[in-house]
Amino acid sequence: MVAEDLKLAIRGLSVVFTRRRGGTVTAVEHLNLGVRDEEFVSIVGPSGCGKSTLLRIVAGLIRPTSGEVLLDNRPVEGPGADRGMVFQSYTLFPWLTVQGNVEFGLRLRGTPAEERQEVVRRYLDLVGLRGTEPAYPKELSGGMQQRVAIARAMANEPAILLMDEPFGALDAQTRSVMQELLLRVWEQTHKTVLFVTHDIDEAILLSDRIYVMTSRPGRIKTEVAVTLPRPREVSVMDTPEFIALRQRVHGLIREETLRVLDEERPTGGGSAGG
Amino acid sequence: MKRDRPGLLARLSEILRPHEPISRSAYLAGVGASAAGLFSLWAILTYGGFVTPLFLPSPSDIVRAAAALIADGSLAEHTWASVSVIVTGWVLAVLLAVPLGILMGTLKFVESLVEPVVNFVRYLPVSAMIPLLILYIGIGTSQKVAVIFIGTFFQLILLISDVSAGVPKDLLDSAYTLGASRADVFGRVLLPATLPGVMDNLRITMGWAWTYLIVAELVAANRGLGYMILDAGRGLFTDRIFVGLFTIGLLGFVFDLTFKRLHKLLLPWSPKI
């Protein structure tokens, strides 16, 4: 891919953490990836591969040790409203109503009240929560809170939406409803999304492309194009194409998990590439 | 099988399940039983002549003493003197400890500046500092206020620091990704996020402030509930000691209730209510 075509480009990214008791851990090593405009891209990988770290670097919340992150060809220096993020944990501000939460970013920018009202209405509509404006987060279920969090991030109209296992804390039923909702939201908005998950089905259902990461130190092991036609329905998960993709991605992650298990044996150690 | 009137044993076993809620009537019955039990025990001991009034005056003795203290206006005067000292000392402690505690829990550097000092002073008995306080600020009302201040400030600052350290990092990070500056994160996220915990600790430390009352009114006091109790003790007016204790207990109860009400009123979103 040519860099200029990309909405988001990550080049030669490495993250080395210093341990408290001395020594260093390489979380991410020389990682390259790109996301095109209006593309939904997922990152999957074995647990601890640094996929959440990667997302936080794009958000500007963590500084990489080396390498660069470019959004619309401009380097990312710190956090900003052009990269909205939805977290796995519930992060709605409990002292603000749903309305107050969704318009939080707009208020910071000094958007006038009528316009804020309009935007809040539009995005609550999008996530199917019109009418909950005066409610406080504690009155909402976990799934509803995450929907408001999505509306809050999107109301800011970021260039890219970063999602860090946004449905990871939800029960299986709610999770599948949320995946369907996000699918519908994406098909209406075509927002550029970088999505981190360890749920392979979720990644395939939602994405145009999937990056599979190696186990620590995290690198891109391979890239899988999801060729399933859009608009998609949940029923696509029963098609042979979907099942073939699932097997392939599953196999790739399993390789990594096994590699780690092998290295953890007393004879192993080090960080041989894979 | 008829099950509409469970036996006493069955009802008792219903009430004694660990961590299970019980009916409101059962709860109120418990409250009533404990109050009635204590009161009857007290009445039997005193009216029955089992203990001398010098150790434990009867309920009517105490009511009589209270009536006399109310009638000559001294109870109101003592109460006002104590309440004003406690509230002043406590408010000063709150005004300093809350912002400092929030900063301490949020910024590691402030923690490094404040924590060693606080942890050192926290273990010093307030009464041991009275000679210094007299030397520095004399024996007037400000000395009494200072005792309350020292008693609450160093505890409160650590409690508030814990509250602000407990604000989830993801909450701050969410604000950053919505375009918030560092000042926004402090003012619009950290501060409101700490309010329920701050409110709780204000209530708790107000209780502690009352426990320093005797210490505060130990030196050169001529008014206040603590003074009244000390003075009654010197004259062996046990009934007046009990009037003082009941007054303090009642005031504490009222303050506690007020804080709980305020919490509900001011922070309707709080997860703690």
C-beta atoms surrounding A187 within 10 Å: 12
Mean pLDDT, residues B254-268: 94
Question: Residue B193 and residue A79: Cβ atoms within 8 Å?
Answer: no
Tell me which chain B residue has its CA closest to the CA of residue A59.
B177
Q: Locate the domains of chain B by residue range.
A: 20-48, 63-266
Cβ-based contacts of B194 with chain A (< 8 Å): none
Mean pLDDT, residues A222-239: 92
Q: What is the pLDDT of residue A266?
A: 63
Q: What is the pLDDT of residue A47?
A: 80
d(Cα A270, Cα A216) in Å, to the nearest integer? 11
pLDDT band at B13 (very low <50, low <70, confident <90, very high): confident
Mean pLDDT, residues A71-90: 93
Q: How does the average pLDDT of chain A come out, rounded?
A: 90
Mean pLDDT, residues B242-249: 95
pLDDT band at A141 (very low <50, low <70, confident <90, very high): very high
Coil vs helix vs strand at A223: strand
The identity of residue B22, as a single letter, is I
Q: What is the pLDDT of residue A273?
A: 39
Tell me which chain B residue has its CA closest to the CA of residue A104.
B178
- CA angle at B166 for the pair B163 and B167, rounded to the nearest 5°: 100
Q: What is the pLDDT of residue B238?
A: 95
Q: What is the pLDDT of residue A262?
A: 81
Size of chain A, expressed as the number of residues it contains: 274
Which tokens is B175 given?
């604000």
Max Cα distance, chain A (Å) = 66
Q: What is the pLDDT of residue B4?
A: 62
d(Cα A56, Cα A25) in Å, to the nearest integer? 17
Residues 6+ apart with CB under 8 A from A158: A81, A82, A83, A84
Long-range contacts of A118-123 (CB under 8 A, 24+ apart): A119/A155, A120/A151, A120/A155, A122/A155, A123/A151, A123/A152, A123/A154, A123/A155
Q: What is the pLDDT of residue B219?
A: 84
Residue B273 contacts A where some CB pair is shorter than 8 Å: no
Q: What is the dihedral of CA A82, A122, A52, A172, to 10 degrees?
A: -170
Q: What is the pLDDT of residue B90?
A: 97
Tell me which chain A residue has its CA closest to the CA of residue B184.
A108
Question: Residue A94 and residue B195: Cβ atoms within 8 Å?
Answer: no
Q: Are A150 and A182 in contact (CB under 8 A)?
A: yes
Residues 6+ apart with CB under 8 A from B106: B164, B165, B167, B186, B190
Give the gap in angstroms from C-alpha B194 to the nearest C-alpha of chain A: 10
d(Cα A198, Cα A44) in Å, to the nearest integer? 5
Q: What is the pLDDT of residue A271?
A: 46
Question: Residue A91 and residue B269: Cβ atoms within 8 Å?
Answer: no
Cβ-based contacts of A137 with chain B (< 8 Å): 269
Tell me which chain B residue has its CA closest to the CA of residue A95.
B269
d(Cα B167, Cα B190) in Å, to the nearest integer? 7
Nearest CB partner across the interface for A104, out of B168, B178, B271: B178
Tell me which chain A residue has its CA closest to the CA of residue B273.
A138
Q: What is the pLDDT of residue B3?
A: 55
Residue A139 contacts B where some CB pair is shorter than 8 Å: no
pLDDT band at B8 (very low <50, low <70, confident <90, very high): confident
The share of chain A scoring above pLDDT 90, in percent, equals 77
Asked if the model's pLDDT at residue B245 lies above 50, the reply is: yes
d(Cα A193, Cα A190) in Å, to the nearest integer? 9
Give the gap in angstroms from C-alpha B203 to the nearest C-alpha of chain A: 20
**Best of B167, B173, B176, B177 to mutate (most A CBs within 10 Å, chain A):** B177
Give the gap in angstroms from C-alpha B191 to the nearest C-alpha of chain A: 11
Closest by CA to A185, choosing from A243, A262, A124, is A124
Asked if the model's pLDDT at residue B1 lies above 90, the reply is: no
Angle formed by the axes of helices B141-165 and B130-137, to 10°? 120
Asked if the model's pLDDT at residue B242 lies above 60, the reply is: yes
Q: What is the pLDDT of residue A274?
A: 35
Nearest CB partner across the interface for A138, out of B171, B184, B271: B271
String of DSSP letters for A12-71: EEEEEEEPTTS-EEEEEEEEEEEEETT-EEEEE-STTSSHHHHHHHHHTSS--SEEEEEE
Question: Residue B179 and residue A105: Cβ atoms within 8 Å?
Answer: yes
Nearest CB partner across the interface for A156, out of B179, B188, B189: B179
Chain B, residues 144-203, CB within 8 A of chain A, namely 168, 170-171, 173-180, 184, 188-189, 192-193, 195
Q: Are A57 and A69 in contact (CB under 8 A)?
A: yes
Residue A109 contacts B where some CB pair is shorter than 8 Å: yes
Q: Are B126 and B213 in contact (CB under 8 A)?
A: no
Closest by CA to B216, choosing from B46, B54, B78, B117, is B78
Question: How far out from the chain centre does Cα B94 lie?
Answer: 14
Mean pLDDT, residues A3-28: 86
The share of chain B scoring above pLDDT 90, in percent, equals 84
Q: What is the pLDDT of residue A94?
A: 96
Tell me which chain A residue has its CA closest to the CA of residue B266.
A95
Cis peptide bond prior to A231, omega within 30° of 0: yes
Q: Compute the Cα dihedral for A233, A237, A243, A248 and give only its sign.
A: positive
> Using one digit for the tens of pLDDT, what is the confidence trace for A52-74?
899 999 999 999 999 999 999 99
**Best of A57, A95, A162 to mutate (most B CBs within 10 Å, chain B):** A95
d(Cα A129, Cα A120) in Å, to the nearest integer? 10
> Using one digit for the tens of pLDDT, what is the confidence trace for B78-108?
999 999 999 999 999 999 999 999 999 999 9
Question: Residue B173 and residue A60: Cβ atoms within 8 Å?
Answer: no
Give the gap in angstroms from C-alpha A59 to the nearest C-alpha of chain B: 7
Question: Residue A79 and residue B171: Cβ atoms within 8 Å?
Answer: no
Nearest CB partner across the interface for B177, out of A59, A93, A96: A59
Domains of chain A are: 42-61+77-263 (3.40.50.300)
The identity of residue B111, as a single letter, is E
Mean pLDDT, residues A69-92: 94
Q: What is the pLDDT of residue B212?
A: 92
Cβ-based contacts of B188 with chain A (< 8 Å): 104
Tell me which chain B residue has its CA closest to the CA of residue A91.
B171
For A217, list phi and psi in degrees, rounded to 5.
-75, 135
Residue B271 contacts A where some CB pair is shorter than 8 Å: yes
Tell me which chain A residue has its CA closest to the CA of residue B170.
A91
Homologous superfamily of B63-266 in CATH? MetI-like (1.10.3720.10)
Bridging pattern class, strands A193-196 and A160-164: parallel
d(Cα A226, Cα A241) in Å, to the nearest integer? 9
Asked if the model's pLDDT at residue B272 lies above 80, the reply is: no
Question: Residue B179 and residue A80: Cβ atoms within 8 Å?
Answer: yes
Cis peptide bond prior to A217, omega within 30° of 0: yes
Give the gap in angstroms from C-alpha B110 to the nearest C-alpha of chain A: 21
Mean pLDDT, residues A163-181: 93
Nearest CB partner across the interface for B178, out of A60, A81, A136: A81
A163: enclosing H helix or E strand = strand A160-164
Q: Are B166 and B196 in contact (CB under 8 A)?
A: no
Bridging pattern class, strands A220-225 and A209-213: antiparallel
Q: How does the average pLDDT of chain B come out, rounded?
A: 93
Asked if the model's pLDDT at residue A179 lies above 80, the reply is: yes
Asked if the model's pLDDT at residue A272 lies above 50, the reply is: no
